[in-house]
Structure 1
Amino acid sequence: MNTANNDPLQIACPHCNAINRVPGARLAQSPSCGRCHSALFTATPIALNAASFDAHANRSQIPLLVDFWAAWCGPCRQMAPEFAKAAMQLEPQMRLGKVDTEAEPALASRFGIRSIPTMVLIQAGREIARQSGVMPASSIVQWARR
């Protein structure tokens, strides 16, 4: 995705899920939501549920990297801080989100999640890559940028 130009991108707010139009050249300038006035990028993964998922996966024009996880999963808990570190490096070119498969079984089913943790990279509502297993932040960043 080329963010160097001034073409506006639609970005979902991580707080209220409102869609905002932001010039690509302004992504790195800490834009805020036109509705709730919160920061559009927080450099932390956001919790996604059925209500917020489609705004970020289908309506937002930046890629969405989703970590499907569960609280009872030891490897998921091990990867959580690494995923958070990756968010600091990947935003604002990419949104990172987490889906609790226990709380959102329909989303897990929709993506055919069979093992956790599993990361799914989504662009324009379509899955473009998938990776299962624990990864350090550097590997998450490298994999997501490919």
Structure 2
Amino acid sequence: MTYTASFVPETLTRAEVDASVGPLVLEFGTNWCGWCRGAQPLIAAAFDQTGAGVRHVKVEDGPGRPLGRSFKVKLWPTLVFLQEGQEVARLVRPGDAESIVQALQQLTSP
């Protein structure tokens, strides 16, 4: 899967995330967040480079949103890298594409 452009209201439950098969990146934030908008070129570049086969779900986060709270998200954007429903890496406000590429490689390396 390729990079996803917009955040959407929660479409997954924590139980569905925990039961997910294969690599998955959850990106928590909002469409109006300046930090989130600023990170998008970095995230898109990383997915273009090494994100083949990785599902990318952008979750609109905020107070009272259960999925973000279950992952203890405090700042946006927060990227949670999961393999078979288990967290293998996390990036909060990534400042460069390379750190995202490295986290993606943890999901795609045999």
Specify the TM-score bucket, using the shorter chain as the normaliser: 0.7 to 0.9
Question: Which residue is 2:45 aligned to?
Answer: 85
The list of structure 1 runs, each at least 4 consecutive aligned residues, that deviate by more than 6 angstroms after superposition, is none
TM-score, normalization: structure 1?
0.57
Percent identity over paired residues: 30
Amino acid paired to 1:110: S
1:45 partnered with 2:4: yes
Q: Provide the C-alpha distance between the structure 1 equivalents of 2:52 and 2:104, rounded to a whole number of angstroms.
A: 13
Amino acid paired to 1:80: Q
Specify which structure has the bigger relative contact order, considering alpha-carbon pairs within 8 angstroms and separated by 6 or more residues. Answer: 2
Alignment size in residue pairs: 105
Amino acid paired to 2:3: T
Amino acid paired to 2:17: A
Whether the 8 Å contact between 1:115 and 1:132 is mirrored in structure 2 is yes
Structure 1, unmatched stretches of 5+, are: 1-40
Amino acid paired to 1:45: T
1:125 Cα deviation (Å)?
A: 1.6
Between Structure 1 and Structure 2, whose CA radius of gyration is higher? Answer: 1
Q: Provide the C-alpha distance between the structure 2 equivalents of 1:67 and 1:104, rounded to a whole number of angstroms.
A: 17
TM-score, normalization: structure 2?
0.72
Across the aligned residues of Structure 1 and Structure 2, the Cα RMSD in angstroms comes to: 2.8
Q: Secondary structure at the match of 1:50?
A: coil
- Relative to structure 1, is the Cα distance of residues 51 and 98 closer, same or farther in structure 2, using a 3 angstrom cutoff? closer
1:61 Cα deviation (Å)?
A: 2.5
Aligned residue among 82, 93, 101 for 1:133: 93
1:118 partnered with 2:78: yes
1:94 partnered with 2:94: no
Amino acid paired to 2:66: A
1:66 partnered with 2:66: no
Structure 2, unmatched stretches of 5+, are: none
